[in-house]
Chains A and B, each alone.
Chain A
């Protein structure tokens, strides 16, 4: 009746393949390849490489106009376009392709580092809250409730208006906005781990709190933290794009997909679609890939979260 049950029975019933079957279409080797998250990796790996190698790949400086180029040149296959600027130029005659390439760097750094900040903070507080209990738990959970009450984007907008725009500020802001989701989940897990025998035994054996948290609790909540992290990256990337769109994210002239969308908005009304379509597609592809990767991780690492 349910996915969980079906997967569980399927795994339990699967026969151990003989060695010669390893690379036959039903053998372990193929299954291993089939079970790799090929689609998300096929999208993410190129984007990651592009972001790392941006300086070498990008044909132009993303912040300077192309010498001799006109503003709003269309992509090369359209009338009026040229192979000099493959995906056209923007309102300052800057190369759209180069800006997209450098924008990948911003989106990925903010997405990954922001998620790490949120994840570490949230996991740490979740463990403390669940393991220590008492007033620490009360304090952390009340703050979590309060911070969860604000819509993430509204909270991020508020923080961004107060501290001013820069990429690193955005990372800290998004970390501060999204840690609460981890704390809730991790605390729940720790509450049940705390009652398990291996933790009880470690306590009886005289292990210090720090040691028990680091050696026994943390490794057991890492799976959930990883699954949550992979699902948060996309959310953080969209949040960064939203802030940049509103002009309180990564400051100009540094290229970010969100601000490119916002810059291209007015020209879209006269039909210059490439300025908005390309950055949006980039956001869509990266977020889609991280979501798929997250779903894959969830099935792999945490059967309990499968139906979430």
Chain B
């Protein structure tokens, strides 16, 4: 187990190194990074000052090492616009994004898991076909457009819900639905295929042969095991929703990380954009590491596999 944890941690660190190297190189290979790091409209002498300030006059390997050092010590640079460290801004917005992501997760659970379960139990039946349509629409209707249509119907035409902003559950319901929509479809697909796989296994056949009632076989034996990959996906989804809900947060004026990223793009605030991307990557690598370790802890087959 310890070996497994060490190996996975090393992999996660390598992943983070490559991620940081990618971001570092993309910025430097596609043009002069000074034009990104200096505020728009800076004069030539300001550019020269920024070049020295950020150490861009040094050789690339040296620059990369100091870039890494800054990441490790949490110095991701200051946002031009807010004149504050990017990490402070990020963690200020994190609770808001988390609130929205949790609500969206809840919606994706409520739609995706029962629908996937019924689809698998009644495979190729009417419910399965209905589930397939839901899954198809979930992947084809862009969440941001769904958000706009929801605003149009429930705020503009019916006047039932507020168009945007943060407040009580009324403000939360539309953005959460628009954000959770896609993830509901992916949970539905995964629950269905995972259930189908479990239902095919020997121990389910045995449980049926023992004469257990169908509800017990499906609820107690099959569903519990089929849920493992589903919970994993839900965990990864939550982290993605926290970091990638850019357009939904813009549409609903939700003060989260996605909106912060949008402000960064819009105001050409490059340190802000770069910092958010790095932090998002780190969060996802971390959650994947945790999931891997928890998996191995639950299931010895995983940690003993090569």
Contact A234 B139 (CB under 8 A): yes
Cβ of A280 under 8 Å from chain B: yes
Q: Which residues on the A side are within 8 Å of B31 (C-beta)?
A: 162-163
Contact B152 A268 (CB under 8 A): yes
- In whole Å, how far is A219's beta carbon from the nearest beta carbon of chain B? 28
CA distance A76 to B22 in the complex (A): 51
Contact B246 A261 (CB under 8 A): no
Task: State which size class the interface on A falls in.
Answer: 35 or more
Which A residue's beta carbon lies closest to that of B163?
A: A269
Which one of A77-85, A108-116, A190-198, A286-294 contacts B?
A286-294
Contact B246 A287 (CB under 8 A): no
Q: Which of A147, A152, A163, A241 contacts B22 (CB 8 A)?
A: A147
Cβ of A38 under 8 Å from chain B: no
Contact A6 B124 (CB under 8 A): yes
Q: Which residues on the B side are within 8 Å of A277 (C-beta)?
A: 149, 152
Q: Which residues on the B side are within 8 Å of A292 (C-beta)?
A: 136
Which B residue's beta carbon lies closest to that of A143?
A: B18
Q: Which residues on the B side are within 8 Å of A142 (C-beta)?
A: 11, 14-15, 18
CA distance A295 to B274 in the complex (A): 37
Cβ of B144 under 8 Å from chain A: yes
Contact with A along B282-304 (1 / 0, CB 8 A): 00110010000000000000000
CA distance A280 to B247 in the complex (A): 14
Contact A153 B244 (CB under 8 A): yes
Cβ of B281 under 8 Å from chain A: yes
Task: State which size class the interface on B falls in.
Answer: 35 or more
Task: List residues of B (150-172) whose CB comes within 8 Å of A's CBs.
Answer: 151-152, 155-157, 163
Contact B142 A283 (CB under 8 A): yes
Q: Which residues on the B side are within 8 Å of A150 (C-beta)?
A: 19, 277, 280-281, 284
- In whole Å, how far is B22's beta carbon from the nearest beta carbon of chain A? 7
CA distance A161 to B277 in the complex (A): 12
Which A residue's beta carbon lies closest to that of B276?
A: A154
Which A residue's beta carbon lies closest to that of B19?
A: A146
- In whole Å, how far is B210's beta carbon from the nearest beta carbon of chain A? 18
Which B residue's beta carbon lies closest to that of A270?
A: B156
Q: Which residues on the A side are within 8 Å of B151 (C-beta)?
A: 268-269
CA distance A9 to B123 in the complex (A): 16
CA distance A294 to B57 in the complex (A): 50
Q: Which residues on the A side are within 8 Å of B262 (C-beta)?
A: 246
- In whole Å, how far is A80's beta carbon from the nearest beta carbon of chain B? 18
- In whole Å, how far is B12's beta carbon from the nearest beta carbon of chain A? 9
Cβ of B6 under 8 Å from chain A: no
With A1-B196, A146-B16, A283-B145 known, 4 other A-B pairs at CB within 8 A are A2-B200, A153-B246, A157-B246, A269-B156
Report which A residues bind B (CB closer than 8 A).
1-3, 6, 142-143, 145-147, 149-155, 157-159, 161-163, 234, 238, 241-242, 245-248, 261, 265, 268-271, 273, 276-277, 280, 283-284, 287-288, 291-292, 295, 307-308
What are the 7 closest A-B residue pairs judged by CB atoms, nearest first?
A146-B18, A151-B244, A280-B145, A288-B140, A287-B140, A146-B19, A158-B277
